[in-house]
Amino acid sequence: MAMPLHATFVGGATGPWQVDRLAAVRGEGLPVVERLSVIEGRESAPPETAVWTLRGVTSNERYVTRTEHVALVERQPPLGRPEATRAALIPVRKTDQWWNLSQDERRAIFEERSRHVSIGLEYLPAVARRLFHSRDLGERFDFLTWFEYAPADAEVFEELVARLRATEEWSSVEREIDIRLVWDAETRRRPL
Ligand code: HEM
């Protein structure tokens, strides 16, 4: 596994990503901001103008089987593709009930009954993704999910999100914010 990558998502008045929309899907919202920047590294100091900061770290996979892992690696595109000028940052917190389940019970809901990976695989390679864990950092969300896609795939991404939100897994989501972004900088897109 690659080394854990720490990232801080900073909402405020600066940053290369322009916020297209920011809406609470479930639970408490977040203040609307104009722009977003992503700072890498554990010791990142967010700018003083930050309205909110969300921290996360990549980790080992918890649920996927070897077969699923191989299928994901074969199909998933890298982050930072020049044409992927749209992104979504979707912070998610799950219920205490979810966290009180055992690993096999969570896997059964996540994949056997909700088909999270099977559904997700249908949308590769259009969508590039990275999952950040926040729960163990004492953050207000459990996960920060990050996705990148080309403008032509915006509707396809909406379909994916709608399908996942209709699953049994999502009944364990108690807070979710949907933040959509447009790359708005002179510089070429580059990986997070
Ligand atoms: C692009 C297609 C997608 C694929 C291929 C995909 C794949 C995955 C995989 C493999 C995991 C589990 C990693 C592990 O084993 O620990 C995961 C977790 C997760 N994904 Fe997705 N996903 C996709 C889209 C989405 C979308 C659109 C959302 C949000 C709306 C989302 C939210 C999450 C969350 C919150 C988790 C953590 C679940 C938990 O550990 O309880 N995913 N995803």
Which residues constitute the domain of residue 174? Answer: 6-183
Per-residue pLDDT tens digits of the chain, which is 192 residues long: 678 999 999 999 999 999 999 999 999 999 999 999 999 998 777 778 899 999 999 999 999 999 999 999 999 999 999 999 999 999 999 999 999 999 999 999 999 999 999 999 999 999 999 999 999 999 999 999 999 999 999 999 999 999 999 999 999 999 999 999 999 977 766 666
pTM of the complete model beyond 0.95: yes
Write out the two tokens for 31.
């203040």
Write out the two tokens for 160.
């994916």
188 lies in some domain: no
Closest approach atom of ligand 1 to CA 62: 16
18 lies in some domain: yes
Closest approach atom of ligand 1 to CA 129: 1
Write out the two tokens for 112.
């056997």
Distance between CA 127 and CA 129 in Å, rounded? 6
122 lies in some domain: yes
CATH for 114: 3.30.70.3420
- For ligand 1, atom 33, which residue shows the shortest CA distance? 145
Write out the two tokens for 147.
């996705």
Distance between CA 174 and CA 140 in Å, rounded? 12
Which residues have C-beta within 8 Å of that of residue 175, sequence separation ≥ 6?
Answer: 24, 26, 27, 28, 91, 92, 93, 140, 141
45 lies in some domain: yes
8 Å CB contact between 93 and 174: yes
Q: How many other C-beta atoms are found inside a 10 Å radius of the C-beta of residue 42?
A: 11
191 lies in some domain: no
189 lies in some domain: no
Which residues have any ligand 1 atom within 6 Å of their CB?
A: 61-64, 72, 90, 92, 94, 116-117, 120-121, 123-124, 127, 129, 131, 143, 145, 147, 160-161, 164
Distance between CA 140 and CA 76 in Å, rounded? 28
175 lies in some domain: yes
Q: How many other C-beta atoms are found inside a 10 Å radius of the C-beta of residue 31?
A: 9
Structural domain count, the chain: 1
8 Å CB contact between 127 and 148: yes
Residue with tokens 């205490």: 96
Q: What is the pLDDT of residue 170?
A: 98
12 lies in some domain: yes
